[in-house]
Amino acid sequence: MKVNIHTLAAVLAVTSLACSDSSGPTSVSVRATLESAHVRIGTPVRVVVDVENTGSKAVSINGGDAIAFLEVSNSAGTVVFFGRSGSFDPTTRTTLDVGQRVSDTPVWSGEPIGPNVSTAQPGTYRVRAFVPVGSRGNYVFSDPLEVTLVP
């Protein structure tokens, strides 16, 4: 079942409010880098994400061919995007064997998602990559990165 991420992102945003970084297993390492720290509004923000199983047993990542997702917060700390732009199949899983590494490049379209937001505003945003692991609601996040949207 393919799902448009904008629909799923709204659902995930509500779900994410009850989730914390510590709920995910510590045997997964998530490292993220921005392709560019300054992006024009309307240009996609691309994040290169490396995920590694550093544990002693296989780890299941939910999302199928979409390994990594993004959480974007504005300067006030409000989450304005939770998910990834594009479509993916959330009903499949990827299994990482011990020591296995995978890479992904999720994209944020630069547009916030939410009932009170219609367009992105210039400013600095905090971006964290995350992978959904194990049971529902468990995420492992990268360190935060800053991206500045410019007109």
Q: Where are the domains of the chain?
A: 3-150
pLDDT in tens, 2-30: 444 443 443 343 333 333 344 445 689 99
More confident residue, 142 or 60: 142
Tell me the C-alpha distance between 43 and 51, whole Å.
25
Phi/psi class of residue 15: alpha, beta or left (left: φ > 0; alpha: ψ in -120 to 50)?
alpha
pLDDT attached to residue 138? 84
Q: What's the topology of domain 3-150?
A: Immunoglobulin-like (2.60.40)
Residue with tokens 């990559």: 129
Residue 91 burial by Cβ neighbours in a 10 Å radius (0-12, 13-18, 19+) = exposed
Hey, which residues does 32 pair with through a beta bridge? 49
pLDDT of residue 124: 95
Beta-carbon contacts of residue 144 (< 8 Å; ≥ 6 apart):
126, 127, 128
Does position 63 have pLDDT exceeding 80, yes or no? no
Measure the N-to-C terminal CA separation of the chain; round to a whole number of Å. Answer: 37
> So what's the pLDDT on residue 141?
95
